[in-house]
Structures are given as C-alpha cells and as structure tokens.
C-alpha cells in the first residue's frame, strides 16, 4: 500500500463538553473515492471542518501527504490541495457564475491579489472559468448572478468552485442535499465525469450517490467509526444495518 | 391516495379562474400604457444613438470632476473656499466608504487617520516649508497608511458591531491625544500659521499660498489622482475583486485559499492612507488645524456625508460632502437650529432613499431610459 494522502489519527472534538467525535481514525489512499455516511448528528460535517481547517480538534492529528496540517488555517490547507464544498450552499452572492468561478481560479493561479493588471484583460483566467462552468453544465448561464439560478444549478456551481481550484483531495459535503431525483442523477453523471484520478471524500445521505461514487465507505455513528469497507461489506454489516440503513429503509 | 383523486379536480378548476379577471384591464390598463409610452420613446431614441452617448456610469464621474476643476472660473471666492474644504472632506468620505462599502465594515473612528495626517501635514509644513507640497502630502498620507496597517491589524479581525466598537475606541484615543498633547497639537487652540509664504508645487515652481484658486487647483491636482488610483485598484484589478469576494462570502473565500485577514487589512490600510491624503490636503487648504478634524463628531459627520451622497457609487460620498457643506452653510444662515433639520433630512434620506443622491439620480436616469 502506498502512503496515504490523508490520515486522521485519533481525532477528538467536543462542543461545550458534548463529545461529537471520539478517537476517529481514517486513511485515504491517493485516487481513492471514499463515502462517509452516518445518521444525523454522527459528526460528519464536524469531521469535514476538522480536515479543512474550519475547526481545530481537541486532540489527535491530521496529516495531508504525510505533513501535519492540524493547526493550519483554512486558506493554507486549501493552498496545499484540500478543496471542499458546503452542505449549506456558500457562494459569492451578487456575482455571476463566471465571477464566482473566477474567484477560485485567480487564487489557484496565484493571481488573487494582483494590483498591477486589469482583471478584464486576463483572458486566460476568463476562459478557464468558462471551461469549469461548462464542465458542470453551466456554460449557458455564465453571466447570470447566483441568486437568479435555480437551486440545482447553484449546487453545481458550488462543485465547480471546488474543481476550479484543482485540489488533490476533493471533499463534498452533501452535494445532493435538496436536489430532486432527476437533478441527483445529473449530479452523479457530472461528478463521475469530472473527478478523474483525484481523491474524493464524499459525505452524503443519498445512498444512490454514495454507491455510485465510492470505492469504500466509512460509517460514522455517535462520533465513532462504526464500520469501514467496500459498499458490499458495509451493506452486509449487521451494526450498520441496525443504526443506519435500517432507519433509511423506513 | 385521496390526494391523487383530488388532483384532477384541482386541475379543472384552476384555468377556469382566468388570471385576466383579477386585473382591471380596462381603464387602468389604458392609462398605464400612455404613461409608459414616454420613457420607451426616450429609450429607443438613445438606443439608436448609443454610440454618441457614453453610459451614465462612465459619463458621471467625468462630469463631476470637470465641474470641480472648472468651478473657480465661475464661482465666488467664498464658494471656492467652501468647495476646497468640501472636496477634501469628499475624499475623506470616499475613503470611509472604501471600508464601509467594499469591506462591509462600519468605522466610527475614521477621523483618526484624517486628523493625524492633518496635524502631521501642519507640522511638516512648519519644518520643511520649502519642500514640494505633493511630497509632504504623500508623506502624511503614507504615515496615516502605516497607522492604518497597525490599527487595522487589531480592528479587522472583528466582525460587525465589534469592529465598530474597536474603531470608536481608537477614534476616542486619538481625539484625547490631540486634545491633551498641547505642546505638539496646540490643544484647544489648534495649529495656526504653519503655511509658508509660498507653496512649492514642484521644486522651483512656487505658488502664492494666498491665491485661493491656485491652492484649490493644487489640492485637486493631488486629490483627483489619489481618488482615481484607489478607484482603479478597487474596480479593475484582481485585488479589488478579492476585496469584494471577501465581503460577499468570507468563509468561502477562506476555503478557496484567500488570506481574508490580509485582504481586509490591505483594504483598511488603503482607506487609512486615502483619509490621510484628504487630511493633509485639508490642512493645506484650510491653513488651520484643530481638534475638529479628529474628534468623534467628525467621524460621524463622514458617515452622514457618505449616506447623503450614496454609498453604492464610488464617487457618491464626494457629492454627499459637497451637498453637506453647501446645505449646512445655507441652513445655518437661515436658522440656528440647522442641525435638527439636517438630522431630519438625513433620517428621511436613509428611510426613503437609501441609495443617497447618486442612487436617486441613477434611478431617474434609468426611468428616462438613458443609457
């Protein structure tokens, strides 16, 4: 086995005394696609925030490509190659689709705060932004502001922002939340087309999305890793069926 | 199952309630079209001649600056004296708005930067009166920017009301310092008589400092390029784009790799520097610096000027400052209680025209169908 791209060691986090994560360990191999599932309140989003820098753990370590990133701020981790989407949509309101994606590309190309060039003359940036909009099927609405887009398109824009920073590790936090069945199918197709060889950590409630996009699945329950394995193994796991899949089948 | 049974019934009923029946199509509709006709005529008139009419957005700053530059040719000495003050306060209001509009932070202590630079400029002119004025103004502005860098480091970490409270405390501190440290600032008497007999515009190019129009143009020759440079930085470059991105969604900007603290700090420093240039020019124009230029009232006056002119347009606060100075001059001659009336007008403005004067002009412009 090669060196893991992401390694979580013994992560523990409590909110005002209430433990949310307890000694969570996780190893992601480069190129792996990992689904992270668990009932509401299992600590999935907290785990995403610990990995991306939104929160600091109370104990434990986070290694990205073998280097500790446990105490780095979010923007430093982003620059190292960790990109995330948001469960609750987080876009640049008042800006167009193109401008939103451009924000990600400017930063990724190291031109985010250039003061000596006109932004409108940076054609390579503009066309790259248009390229990413096309990737997620937003090529026809480049100049529409975010608020005027239907929710499903806003979801895809959120993912375009992650892709545009070309991260080695893509973390998607419930990308299908609030989408209709048809929109979810579209989303799966888009993601299968664009993720390529990158490493994926996918937090999702919709099991269709998880099964379609994951090589392996980790199940989180009450802040602990309950099970880990291939989709078939997890599906067959007694504990998992009891706490999670059983509930979902109701 | 009962839902499905009732569905066809609903489908049958909806088209029956024709939507036209709810709208009084007759009289009101006719009147509506006749009113709408006129703007449409203007719209088509200007659309056909689009190439001859630059858009309002491009035209209005040029018009505004042209009026400011040409004013001494037509206006009285007293008016130019007022206008000189007003444009310096206008640049100050623009610098306030750079923090307010571009970073979404409301500063209650912005006069600290204006005042420190005004005192600094007075002391510089006292010591180095033979140096070119633009150099001295840039030195005072640079000092204010440096101060902004240090103080901004404390302020911009805080959000919303906490930012405002921190700037209020800083404003109060600098006012007290100016008030108490009378050996340097002259205390309540202020600083006077620091103007050299002749101002050096450039080395070997003196200007008579009592020539009012000359001083006014000297002020404008530094003020307009400074204002334009800050505008270009914020409106055209990736840096300006990053500042707006951080205001719109700081969290997302962080996770995209932007160091949002540094970006907000850079914008704060820019605003402090521009406030410093405004303060230094005001000292040159006014030839007198007192605690009025640094007290907390002044920090709130600039907020009123900004809202009056409109915070949504970069040059709006400049209009606000000119109108404020002209309005307060006129009102204070009419009634000693002018501040009450001004306050009421300000409240009305915030309630009914939050876009300020420039917002009103822009909507009138659009209603006429102008480009």
Indicate whether B126 pLDDT > 90.
Answer: no
* Contact present, A137 and A186 (Cβ < 8 Å): yes
Q: Which residues of chain B lie closer than 8 angstroms to A121, CB-CB? A: none
Indicate whether B29 pLDDT > 80.
Answer: no
Evaluate whether residue B58 is within a structural domain. Answer: no
Query: Which of B233, B241, B259 shows the shortest C-beta gap to A106?
Result: B241
In total, how many domains does chain B have? 1
pLDDT confidence tier of residue B16, bands split at 50, 70 and 90: very low
Query: Which of B236, B239, B245 shows the shortest C-beta gap to A103?
Result: B245
pLDDT single digits (tens) A171-189: 999 999 888 898 899 899 9
> How much is the pTM?
0.85
Q: What is the pLDDT, as a whole number, of residue B258? A: 95
| CA dist., res. B221 & res. A218, Å (int) | 66
Determine whether the interchain pair A115/B251 forms a contact, defined as Cβ–Cβ distance below 8 Å. no
Q: What is the pLDDT, as a whole number, of residue A241? A: 81
Q: What is the pLDDT, as a whole number, of residue B328? A: 86
Evaluate whether residue B39 is within a structural domain. Answer: no
Indicate whether B32 pLDDT > 90.
Answer: no
| CA dist., res. A50 & res. B148, Å (int) | 34
Determine whether the interchain pair A104/B249 forms a contact, defined as Cβ–Cβ distance below 8 Å. no
Q: Which residues of chain A lie closer than 8 angstroms to B262, CB-CB? A: 113
**Residue in A closest to B248 by C-alpha:** A92
Evaluate whether residue B170 is within a structural domain. Answer: yes
Determine whether the interchain pair A113/B238 forms a contact, defined as Cβ–Cβ distance below 8 Å. yes
pLDDT single digits (tens) A12-36: 999 988 889 989 999 999 999 999 9
Output A242 or B177, whichever has higher pLDDT: B177
Determine whether the interchain pair A113/B242 forms a contact, defined as Cβ–Cβ distance below 8 Å. yes
| CA dist., res. A37 & res. A35, Å (int) | 6
Evaluate whether residue B80 is within a structural domain. Answer: yes
Indicate whether A62 pLDDT > 90.
Answer: yes
**Residue in B closest to A160 by C-alpha:** B256
Q: Give the SS3 label for residue A102.
A: helix
A107 touches chain B (CB under 8 A): yes
Q: What is the pLDDT, as a whole number, of residue B184? A: 80
Q: What is the pLDDT, as a whole number, of residue B55? A: 67
Evaluate whether residue B217 is within a structural domain. Answer: yes
A27: left (phi over 0), alpha (psi -120 to 50) or beta: beta
Q: Give the SS3 label for residue A69.
A: coil
Query: Using CB atoms and an 8 Å cut-off, which of residues 45-64 of chain A contact chain B?
Result: 52-54
Range of the domain at B273: 76-294
A172 touches chain B (CB under 8 A): no
Evaluate whether residue B60 is within a structural domain. Answer: no
Q: Which residues of chain B lie closer than 8 angstroms to A83, CB-CB? A: 255
Using a pLDDT cut of 90, give the percent of chain A over it. Answer: 58
Mean of pLDDT over chain A: 90
Q: Mind listing the domains of chain A with CATH numbers?
A: 1-81+169-182+196-250 (3.40.50.300), 90-166 (no CATH)
Predicted complex ipTM: 0.92
Determine whether the interchain pair B233/A103 forms a contact, defined as Cβ–Cβ distance below 8 Å. no
Q: Which residues of chain A lie closer than 8 angstroms to B240, CB-CB? A: 119
Indicate whether A249 pLDDT > 50.
Answer: no
pLDDT single digits (tens) A130-153: 999 999 989 999 999 999 999 989
Q: What is the pLDDT, as a whole number, of residue A125? A: 92
A102 touches chain B (CB under 8 A): yes
Distances (CA, A) of A179 to A101, A206, A212: 21, 10, 16
Lowest-pLDDT choice from B10-19, B33-42, B212-221, B359-368: B10-19
């Amino acid at each position: 086995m090669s060196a893991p791209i992401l390694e979580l060691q013994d992560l523990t986090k409590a909110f005002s005394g209430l433990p949310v994560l307890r000694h969570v360990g996780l190893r992601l191999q480069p190129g792996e696609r990992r689904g992270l599932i668990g009932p509401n309140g299992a600590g999935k989003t907290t785990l995403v925030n610990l990995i991306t820098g939104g929160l600091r753990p109370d104990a434990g370590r986070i290694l990205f490509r073998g280097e500790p990133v446990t105490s780095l701020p979010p923007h430093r981790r982003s620059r190292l190659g960790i990109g995330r989407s948001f469960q609750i949509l987080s876009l640049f309101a008042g800006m167009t689709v193109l401008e939103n994606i451009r924000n990600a590309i400017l930063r990724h190309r190291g031109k985010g705060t250039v003061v000596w060039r006109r932004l409108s003359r940076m054609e390579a940036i503009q066309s790259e932004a248009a390229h990413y909009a096309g990737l997620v099927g937003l090529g026809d609405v480049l100049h529409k502001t975010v608020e005027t887009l239907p929710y499903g398109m806003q979801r895809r824009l959120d993912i375009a922002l992650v892709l545009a920073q070309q991260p080695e590790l893509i973390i998607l936090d419930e990308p299908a939340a609030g989408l209709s069945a048809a929109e979810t199918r579209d989303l799966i197709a888009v993601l299968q087309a664009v993720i390529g060889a990158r490493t994926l950590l996918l937090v999702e409630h919709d099991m269709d999305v998880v099964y379609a996009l994951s090589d392996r699945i980790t199940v989180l329950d009450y802040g602990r890793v309950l099970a880990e394995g291939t989709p078939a193994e997890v599906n067959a796991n007694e504990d998992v069926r009891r706490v999670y899949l059983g509930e979902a089948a109701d | 199952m009962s839902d499905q049974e009732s569905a066809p019934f609903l489908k049958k009923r909806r088209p029956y309630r024709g939507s036209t029946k709810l709208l009084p199509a007759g009289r009101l509709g006719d009147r509506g079209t006749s009113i709408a006709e006129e703007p449409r005529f203007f719209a088509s008139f200007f659309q056909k001649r689009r190439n001859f009419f630059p858009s309002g957005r491009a035209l209005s700053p040029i018009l505004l600056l042209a009026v400011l530059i040409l004013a001494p040719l037509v206006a009285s000495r007293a008016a130019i004296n007022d206008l000189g003050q007003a444009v310096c306060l206008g640049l100050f209001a623009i610098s306030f708005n750079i923090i307010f509009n571009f970073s979404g932070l409301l500063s209650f202590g912005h006069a600290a930067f204006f005042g420190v630079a005004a005192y600094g400029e007075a002391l510089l002119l006292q010591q180095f009166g033979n140096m070119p004025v633009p150099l001295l103004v840039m030195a005072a502005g640079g000092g204010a920017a440096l101060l902004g860098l240090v103080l901004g480091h404390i302020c911009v970490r805080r959000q919303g009301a906490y930012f405002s409270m921190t700037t209020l405390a800083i404003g109060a501190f600098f006012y007290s310092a100016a008030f108490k440290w009378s050996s340097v600032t002259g205390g309540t008497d202020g600083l006077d008589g620091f103007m050299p007999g002749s101002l050096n515009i450039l080395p070997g190019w003196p200007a008579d400092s009592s020539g009012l129009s000359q001083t006014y143009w000297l002020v404008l020759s530094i003020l307009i390029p400074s204002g334009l440079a800050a505008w270009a930085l914020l409106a055209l470059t990736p840096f300006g784009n990053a500042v707006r991105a951080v205001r719109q969604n700081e969290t997302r900007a962080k996770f995209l790799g932007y160091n949002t603290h540094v970006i907000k700090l850079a914008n704060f420093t820019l605003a402090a520097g521009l406030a410093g240039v405004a303060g230094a020019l005001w000292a040159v124009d006014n030839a007198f610096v007192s605690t009025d230029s640094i007290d907390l009232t002044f920090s709130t006056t600039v907020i009123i000027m900004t809202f009056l002119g409109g915070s949504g347009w970069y040059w709006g606060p400049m209009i606000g400052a000119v109108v404020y100075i002209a309005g307060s001059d006129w009102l204070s001659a009419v009634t000693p209680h002018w501040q009450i009336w001004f306050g009421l007008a300000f409240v009305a403005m915030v309630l009914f025209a939050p876009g300020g004067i420039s917002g009103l002009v822009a909507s009138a412009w659009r209603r006429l169908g102008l480009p």
